[in-house]
């Protein structure tokens, strides 16, 4: 359906506007769209009246799909020439679903009624304004809510930012703590490893030499050890930094540089006149009494870290104690060796019978123990040779060994066979020192008898080399150890000997190895003794003893003393026995 209005005057425009509003209401156009339609139409008609002429308003509804439910207003010029130049104005609004054409009375013709109807036509505008006011209130409410929300968001962002900064600070603190913990662990590990290296040696010169490899280049650029006794100083009269002299005098660490060191427990000193451009850390090497020397260090960089300095001071303290212990050990070792040598007597000289003895202390610990050998004559002209081993090491074992040797000499003055002498030693040791034991072998040579008498008490068996080069282990049943709480009579054994024979007495340190036991060692000794010729033993028994020991001891370090006594009947023993003094001849 289409309705048309021809508009020439304002009154025509007012009627058209009123009718359009009524028709839009009749077709169920919503108030907002209806107000928009009438307002836009009024504005366009006002422009048309300003231009003058006749204008045509067509209000049509769609009757065919897909335009059902649409109301369209079209304004065109009544002048055909103008209509070609001026495009039509149009506006389309939606109608209510299912709305149909209804009879709508046209606007009144008289001005007074027309004005009233025009006012009524603006009721939609008033409703729209009320709606707009409500919308404005709603918008204001939403704006206030939005402002509150924005403030909350800003506050949340501030909290998140603060939390983020706090988290970053925590991460930084954690990284710093982890770095410090790792550095502390590294220092403690180094301190433990370096302490183990320094204390592993009992040679104070070697401890001094190890400082350089331990500290350079990570903890020091240079290392100088000033020992007050000059024991390991390559330049004993070289000038020393003043800070080192102060450290030696006061016993406190000193730091010499043109800046403050800020090192805990360290006194600051002016830079050294010898090398003013190099900072120096001078740490005393402490002992139980007075400092042993001063350790002079230059930093690996511009200066030391405080924790590194504390670690270096502690390492120096431990090194000083290790050096003091090493010097004490060396001193005690020298005393022990001197004592041990003093307890081992010179061997007697007998025509036709040559003796050679070797004593080698253990390579670990103090070189003093209970191994011993001896050779002396009895009143009847017999020669007693003995080798023994008191259990244990140290001064106590050495003293007990000396007492046993003295007691044996005293018992031998009254005569007696080797078995009888060992039996008396067993009783003596049991009553003198019940918690100490010993082993021994005694062999007796008589100038008028072609036999060797021997007895053993818990000791490795003697080894006899005959002139034909055969080697025999004298393995007859020995007695038990000396000193054990057991009553025993140790038996004697005899074996024929001829010129050119060699008897080897030894202690278990020569033949016993922890991984192999003692029997393989005795076999090696027998095999080595069998390689010698009688002529070699006649000519140089001392050299033969050295050559015998060398292959037996080269396989490992000794953890026990070694004692060897060789008794060799010269191949011309009978001729050499024809001496003026019957007592000393064979």
Identify which of 313, 285, 319, 293 has the alpha carbon closest to the alpha carbon of residue 220: 313
Q: How far is CA 256 from CA 217, 249, 259, 267, 277, in A?
A: 20, 15, 8, 9, 10
In DSSP terms, which residues pair with 7 in a beta bridge?
55
Confidence band, pLDDT 50/70/90 cuts, at residue 501: very high
- 349-584 folds as Phosphatase 2c; domain 1 (3.60.40)
Identify which of 354, 497, 482, 345 has the alpha carbon closest to the alpha carbon of residue 419: 482
Confidence band, pLDDT 50/70/90 cuts, at residue 24: confident
pLDDT in tens, 257-301: 988 888 988 999 999 888 888 899 999 988 877 788 899 999 888
pLDDT in tens, 545-572: 999 998 888 655 556 788 999 999 988 7
Is 70 exceeded by the pLDDT of residue 217? yes
Please say whether the beta carbons of 563 and 389 come within 8 A: yes
Locate the domains of the chain by residue range: 2-121, 204-338, 349-584
Given this structure, which CATH class describes domain 204-338? alpha beta
What percentage of the chain has pLDDT greater than the value 90?
25
Confidence band, pLDDT 50/70/90 cuts, at residue 582: very low
Q: How far is CA 320 from CA 213, 215, 326, 334, in A?
A: 17, 15, 10, 21
Please say whether the beta carbons of 566 and 504 come within 8 A: yes
Q: Are strands 267-269 and 254-256 parallel, antiparallel or unpaired?
A: parallel
Sign of CA dihedral 510, 514, 515, 518: positive
Identify which of 223, 221, 219 has the alpha carbon closest to the alpha carbon of residue 210: 223
- Token pair recorded at residue 545: 């003893």
Confidence band, pLDDT 50/70/90 cuts, at residue 179: confident
In DSSP terms, which residues pair with 454 in a beta bridge?
443, 493
pLDDT in tens, 86-140: 788 999 988 876 655 555 666 666 666 666 666 666 677 777 777 778 888 888 8
Confidence band, pLDDT 50/70/90 cuts, at residue 373: very high
Neighbours of 269 (CB within 10 A): 20
Kindly report which listed range (228-237, 311-320, 333-342, 392-401) carries the lowest average pLDDT score: 228-237
Identify which of 344, 320, 403 has the alpha carbon closest to the alpha carbon of residue 565: 344
Please say whether the beta carbons of 373 and 563 come within 8 A: yes
The CA distance from 358 to 340, in Å, is: 12
- Residue 75, phi then psi, degrees to nearest 5: -115, 125
Neighbours of 318 (CB within 10 A): 16
Identify which of 490, 496, 462 has the alpha carbon closest to the alpha carbon of residue 387: 462
* Three-class HEC string of 487-529: CCCCCCEEEECCCCCEEEEECHHHHCECCCECHHHHHHHHHHH
Please say whether the beta carbons of 292 and 227 come within 8 A: yes
Q: How far is CA 340 from CA 323, 505, 509, 519, 549, in A?
A: 25, 19, 16, 28, 20
Confidence band, pLDDT 50/70/90 cuts, at residue 402: confident
Q: How far is CA 254 from CA 240, 264, 266, 293, 300, in A?
A: 13, 11, 5, 14, 17
Kindly report which listed range (53-57, 359-363, 399-403, 537-541) carries the lowest average pLDDT score: 359-363
pLDDT in tens, 419-476: 999 999 999 988 887 778 899 999 999 887 889 999 999 999 999 999 998 999 998 8
pTM of the model: 0.54
What is the Cα 324 distance to its own chain's centre?
28
Looking at residue 458, what is its pLDDT?
Answer: 92
Confidence band, pLDDT 50/70/90 cuts, at residue 342: low
Identify which of 322, 114, 122 has the alpha carbon closest to the alpha carbon of residue 209: 322
Q: Are strands 369-377 and 353-360 parallel, antiparallel or unpaired?
A: unpaired
Q: Which residue has the higher pLDDT, 563 or 335?
A: 563
Q: Which residue has the higher pLDDT, 245 or 290?
A: 245
Most confidently modeled range among 192-196, 392-396, 582-586 = 192-196
- Token pair recorded at residue 18: 């009123």
Please say whether the beta carbons of 81 and 56 come within 8 A: no
pLDDT in tens, 127-146: 777 777 888 888 888 888 88
Looking at residue 585, what is its pLDDT?
Answer: 33
- Average pLDDT across the chain, whole number: 84
Q: How far is CA 541 from CA 151, 209, 420, 461, in A?
A: 110, 42, 30, 21
Peptide bond into 66 cis (omega under 30): yes
Average pLDDT (520-538) is 91
Confidence band, pLDDT 50/70/90 cuts, at residue 239: confident
The CA distance from 242 to 439, in Å, is: 61
Identify which of 564, 205, 563 has the alpha carbon closest to the alpha carbon of residue 362: 563
* Three-class HEC string of 235-276: CCCCCCCHHHHHHHHHCCCEEECCCCCCCCCCEEECCCCCCC
Alpha helices in 52-122 (DSSP H): 80-85, 111-121
Q: Which residue has the higher pLDDT, 575 or 41?
A: 41
Lookup result for tokens 């603190």: 173
Q: How far is CA 218 from CA 178, 184, 222, in A?
A: 21, 15, 10
pLDDT in tens, 461-474: 999 999 998 999 99
Average pLDDT (328-339) is 74
Average pLDDT (227-234) is 67
């Amino acid at each position: 359906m289409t309705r048309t209005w021809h508009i020439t005057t304002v009154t025509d425009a007012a009627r058209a506007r009123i009718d359009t509003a009524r028709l839009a209401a009749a077709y169920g156009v919503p108030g907002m769209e209806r107000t928009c339609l009438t307002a836009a139409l009024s504005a366009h008609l006002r422009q048309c009246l300003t231009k003058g002429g006749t204008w045509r308003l067509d209000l049509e509804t769609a009757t065919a799909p897909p335009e059902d439910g649409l109301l369209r207003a079209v304004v065109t010029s009544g002048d055909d020439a103008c209509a070609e130049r001026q495009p039509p104005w149009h506006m389309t609004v939606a109608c209510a679903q299912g709305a149909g054409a209804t009879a709508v009375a046209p606007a009144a013709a008289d001005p007074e009624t027309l004005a009233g109807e025009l006012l009524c036509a603006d009721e939609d505008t008033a409703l729209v304004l009320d709606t707009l006011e409500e919308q404005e209130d709603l918008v204001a409410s939403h704006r206030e809510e939005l402002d509150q929300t924005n403030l909350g968001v800003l506050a949340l962002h501030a909290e998140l930012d603060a939390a983020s900064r706090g988290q970053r600070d925590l991460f930084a603190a954690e990284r710093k703590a982890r770095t410090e913990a790792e550095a502390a662990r590294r220092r403690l590990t180094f301190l433990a490893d370096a302490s183990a290296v320094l204390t592993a040696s009992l040679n104070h010169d070697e401890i001094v030499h190890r400082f350089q490899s331990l500290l350079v280049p990570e903890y020091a650029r240079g290392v100088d050890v000033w020992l007050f006794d000059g024991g390991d100083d390559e330049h004993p009269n070289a000038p020393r930094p003043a800070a080192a002299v102060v450290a030696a005098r006061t016993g406190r660490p000193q730091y010499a540089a043109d800046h403050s060191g800020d090192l805990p427990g360290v006194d600051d000193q002016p830079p050294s006149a010898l090398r003013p451009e190099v900072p120096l850390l001078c740490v005393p090497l402490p002992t139980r009494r007075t400092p042993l020397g001063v350790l002079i260090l230059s930093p690996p960089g511009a200066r030391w870290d405080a924790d590194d300095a504390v670690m270096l001071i502690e390492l120096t303290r431990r090194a000083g104690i290790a050096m003091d212990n090493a010097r004490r050990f060396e001193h005690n070792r020298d005393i022990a060796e001197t004592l041990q040598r003093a307890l081992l007597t010179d061997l007697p000289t007998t025509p036709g019978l040559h003796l050679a003895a070797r004593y080698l202390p253990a390579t670990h610990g103090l070189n003093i123990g209970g191994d011993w050998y001896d050779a002396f004559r009895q009143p009847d002209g017999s020669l007693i040779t003995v080798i023994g081993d008191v259990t244990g090491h140290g001064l106590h074992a050495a003293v007990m060994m000396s007492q046993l040797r003295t007691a044996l000499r005293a018992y031998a003055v009254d005569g007696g066979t080797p078995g009888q002498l060992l039996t008396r030693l067993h009783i003596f040791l049991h009553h003198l020192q019940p918690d100490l034991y010993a082993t021994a072998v005694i062999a007796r040579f008589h100038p008028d008898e072609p036999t060797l008498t021997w007895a053993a008490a818990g000791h490795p068996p003697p080894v006899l080399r005959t002139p034909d080069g055969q080697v025999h282990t004298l393995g007859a049943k020995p007695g038990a150890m000396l000193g054990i709480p057991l009553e025993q009579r140790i038996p004697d054994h005899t074996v024929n000997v001829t010129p050119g024979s060699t008897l080897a007495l030894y202690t278990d340190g020569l033949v016993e190895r922890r991984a192999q036991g003692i029997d393989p060692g005795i076999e090696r000794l027998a095999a080595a003794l069998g390689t010698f010729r009688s002529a070699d033993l006649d000519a140089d028994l001392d050299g033969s003893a050295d050559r015998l020991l060398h292959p037996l001891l080269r396989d490992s370090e000794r953890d026990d003393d070694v004692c060897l006594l060789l008794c060799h009947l010269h191949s011309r023993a009978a001729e050499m026995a024809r001496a003026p003094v019957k007592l000393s001849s064979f």
